[in-house]
Amino acid sequence: MDPANDPEDSGTFADLALRPELVAVLSDLGYEEPTPIQRAAIPPLLEGRDLVGQAATGTGKTAAFALPMLHQLPTGDRGRSPSGLVLAPTRELAVQVAEAVSRYGTTLGARVLAVYGGQPITPQLKVLQRGVDVVVGTPGRVLDHLHRGSLKLDQLKVVVLDEADEMFDMGFAEELDAILAALPDKRQTVLFSATMPPKIAKMARKHQTDPVQIAVKGEKAPAGEAPKVSQTGHIVMRVDKPAALARVLDIHQPSSALVFCRTREEVDSLTEALKTRGYRAEPLHGGMSQEQRDRVMNRLRNQTADLLVATDVAARGLDVDHLTHVVNYNVPAAPESYVHRIGRVGRAGREGVAITLAEPRERRMLEAIEHLTGTKITFSKVPSLADLMASRLAVTRAALVEVLEGGDITGVQPMVTDLLASYSPEQLALAAAALAHRAQAPADDGDIPDASHRPPRALRDDAPRTSTPGTTKHTGPAGIGSGSRGGAHQRTGPPERKPAKEGMAKLYIGAGRAASVRPQDLVGAIAGESHLTGKQIGSIEITERFSLVEVPESEIDAVIKALRSSVIKGRKAIIRRDRDT
Ligand code: AMP
């Protein structure tokens, strides 16, 4: 089997001979082991080989090229010109990749800049002047910088074309050729693409030397191997995932379920979030001692816990036969992992249920999974609150019958007699049943928007057909995710980082979407800890890693003081005045 296709072929990041600084970051991020594409791509990339990788979003391909790129950064003075360049089709992807490279490069002090159209060029020029190690950009804007002379690529060692097929589809072929022609001959050229049409192969032949070819793609599972499992899923935006998971759990009411996450961090924060919502969830990951793991497993076996939130690695040796549901909180990094995950239920001829929560950008991975398993995952909208309440009628009924059959009715008799003077027994029964039913309502997340019709990438403003290099409209700086009060899930690209309104100042809170922070959590924490009222709080922006909240300038110091000792979503977060607005 191709090493890129064997999820059980374990090995650690340390085995890949990456710099210890990088291994430390990955451990901090809670990555337990390399994904198949990382296992296959990192060694040849560390040797300096050119590479063509067929991998879609969700496979961990960003780290597969970013880690070797960071590994080669000189230890001493790094000068001003970048040694790494990543070309990406959209501004959204450029920002995401830049954030990832910067995250992986923290301990190395990597200087990373995202450049894309629709963003003022002056801040980019300033950063380039100061010096950067890695530039991540859309082809139009990178070429623009090359023409201006603001981006010098004479020191470049590695260039990566990420999502090459999309760049072609968006008409960037000429820009790519022009950029590649401007690079030093002696360099490493890496190309990642979800599909490999002939034009990509041609481009690889033209610009690469003897590239290593790797692919994460499915081989058909042998007949009879697939367990009897109903496979369904929901496509939702990342910010809606916690609420979608809660809805799924409320509807299915699994007696024993395994929820799969990618990282230790995600396992811990999701377990906390589930516990806060009242679920009996326990974490299981490779960072736990054997004793802790045994304790968790016992809770699941004796049914004092009904949800196990686990990484793939930790769940591998798991032996629980009464599991009824598997929930993929995100799409696994390799199609084979999906088969392993869902194989945890539906054993011994029993029917199992597998539910996958996917983001729009992960559709290609889903196609690969369907291809491998030879089955179709049925996608639908997340059940609405009304659906949930309808499915709960049986629970309400059972609760009413329990009281009718001898439950405690002390204290209500005089009130009922009094009400029967004005209402019929039937009216009274209906009202009481409605009240009992309403009490079954879960936390009100409202209805969760279906994202199945959203394009995989929302912002394509750097496409050459719509903007000419150098004449693009400028709107905002790099690297900021999005989110706004009451509509955090509506936008997917980087918003402008606007200055605070007059009389207001921006508060920086070091927790964002990754920690499942929602606008109401921020309002709740601020209003709860300080003397501000909800009305005094201005606009709220929630990005992946942090949030910005507008508060009255005259109150900001008091609010910071009040919030310092508080926790947001179960964590202590950095709270300070925002430096960038
Ligand atoms: P990508 O395919 O590069 O977009 O990565 C998909 C997601 O997987 C990102 O959220 C990464 O942070 C995460 N990821 C990448 N590599 C690993 C790993 N080895 N273990 C766990 N998560 C990972």
Q: Specify the length of the chain in residues.
A: 581
Q: What is the mean pLDDT of residues 111-134?
A: 92
Alpha carbon 156 to chain centroid, angstroms: 31
Residue 18 phi, psi (nearest 5): -80, 160
Q: What is the DSSP letter of 457?
A: -
pLDDT at 231: 94
HSE (side-chain half, CA atoms, 13 Å) at 81: 15
Give the Å distance between the CA of 23 and the centre of ligand 1.
Answer: 15
Distance CA 488, CA 494 (A): 12
Please name every residue paired with 548 in a beta bridge, in sequence order, or none if there are none.
Answer: 508, 541
In angstroms, the CA 483 to CA 496 distance is: 11
Question: Among the atoms of ligand 1, which is closest to the Cα of residue 62?
Answer: 3
Between 563 and 291, the more confident residue is 291
The atom of ligand 1 lying closest to the CA of 35 is 19
Strands 325-328 and 212-215: unpaired
In angstroms, the CA 488 to CA 242 distance is 14
Q: What is the mean pLDDT of residues 123-151?
A: 94
Digit-coded pLDDT (tens) for 225-251: 555 889 999 999 999 999 999 999 999
Question: Ligand 1, closest atom to CA 33?
Answer: 19
Distance 333 CA to ligand 1 centre (A): 7
Give the model's pLDDT for residue 538.
83
Question: In Å, what is the CA distance from 550 to each residue of 366, 505, 572?
Answer: 39, 6, 20
- Domains delineated in the chain: 3-215 (3.40.50.300), 229-379 (3.40.50.300), 385-439 (no CATH), 469-577 (3.30.70.330)
Mean pLDDT to the nearest integer, 121-126: 90
Ligand 1 center to residue 286 CA distance, Å? 17
Cβ count near 367 (within 10 Å)? 15
Mean pLDDT of 574-581: 76
Mean pLDDT in the chain?
A: 84
Ligand 1 atom with least separation from CA of 31: 20
Per residue in 547-561, pLDDT (tens digit) is 888 899 888 888 888
**Nearest C-alpha to atom 15 of ligand 1 is from which residue?**
60
Say yes or no to pLDDT of 218 above 80.
Answer: no
Residue 326 pLDDT level (bands cut at 50, 70, 90): very high
Separation of CA 374 and ligand 1 centre (Å): 25
What's the Cα-to-Cα distance from 154 to each of 81, 180, 187, 201, 460, rounded to whole Å?
Answer: 8, 12, 10, 26, 29
More confident residue, 492 or 289: 289
Q: 270 C-alpha to center of ligand 1: Å? A: 17
Q: What pLDDT digit, counting tens, does each position of 11-35 carry? A: 889 899 999 999 999 999 999 999 9
Contact present, 354 and 323 (Cβ < 8 Å): no
Ligand 1 centre distance from Cα of residue 59 (Å) = 7
For residue 547, the SS3 value is strand
- Nearest C-alpha to atom 9 of ligand 1 is from which residue? 60
Single-letter code of the amino acid located at 158 = V
Euclidean distance between CA atoms 278 and 260, whole angstroms: 19
Query: Mean of the pLDDT values across residues 269-277?
Result: 92
**How far, in Å, from the CA of 60 to the mean position of ligand 1?**
4
Name the closest-CA residue to atom 18, ligand 1: 31
What is the whole-number distance in angstroms between the Cα of residue 181 and the centre of ligand 1? 31
CA of 61 to the centre of ligand 1 (A): 7
Kindly give the distance from the C-alpha atom of residue 187 to the centroid of ligand 1, in angstroms, as a whole number. Answer: 26
Q: Which residue has the higher pLDDT, 1 or 206?
A: 206
From residue 243, how far is each of 169, 217, 266, 391, 501 by CA, in Å? 35, 31, 15, 17, 31
Ligand 1: nearest atom to the Cα of 96: 4
Task: Indicate whether 397 pLDDT > 80.
Answer: yes
Averaged pLDDT for residues 33-41: 94
Task: Supply the pLDDT for residue 103.
Answer: 96
| Ligand 1 closest atom vs CA 311 | 21
Q: Which of 16, 86, 262, 285 to mutate to test the pocket of ligand 1 (most atoms within 8 A of CB)?
A: 262
Q: Which CA distances in Å does 484 have to 276, 360, 446, 457, 577?
A: 24, 20, 17, 19, 18
Q: Is the pTM of this model over 0.85?
A: no
Whether residue 539 is predicted with pLDDT greater than 90 in this model: the reply is no
For a mutational test of ligand 1's pocket, the pick from 35, 42, 61, 101, i.e. the residue with the most ligand atoms closer than 8 A to its C-beta, is 35
Does residue 492 carry a pLDDT above 80? Answer: no
* Protein residues with CB under 6 Å of any ligand 1 atom: 31, 34-35, 38, 57-63, 262-263
pLDDT digits (tens, 9 = 90+) for 383-393: 998 888 888 88
408: exposed, middle or buried (Cβ count in 10 Å: 0-12, 13-18, 19+):
exposed
What is the 57 CA–ligand 1 centroid distance (Å)?
Answer: 9
Q: Which of 46-55, 288-297, 450-459, 468-477 has the lowest mean pLDDT?
A: 468-477
Q: In Å, what is the CA distance from 578 to each residue of 112, 432, 477, 486?
A: 21, 51, 15, 21
Q: What is d(CA 223, CA 240) in angstroms, rounded to the nearest whole number?
A: 36
DSSP string of 216-279, one letter each residue: --PPPPPTT-S-SEEEEEEE--GGGHHHHHHHHHHHH--SSEEEEESSHHHHHHHHHHHHHTT-
pLDDT at 351 over 70: yes
Mutation pick for ligand 1 pocket among 31, 162, 269 (CB with most ligand atoms within 8 Å): 31
What's the pLDDT at 456? 63
The mean pLDDT value for 535-549 works out to: 82
State residue 527's pLDDT score.
Answer: 78
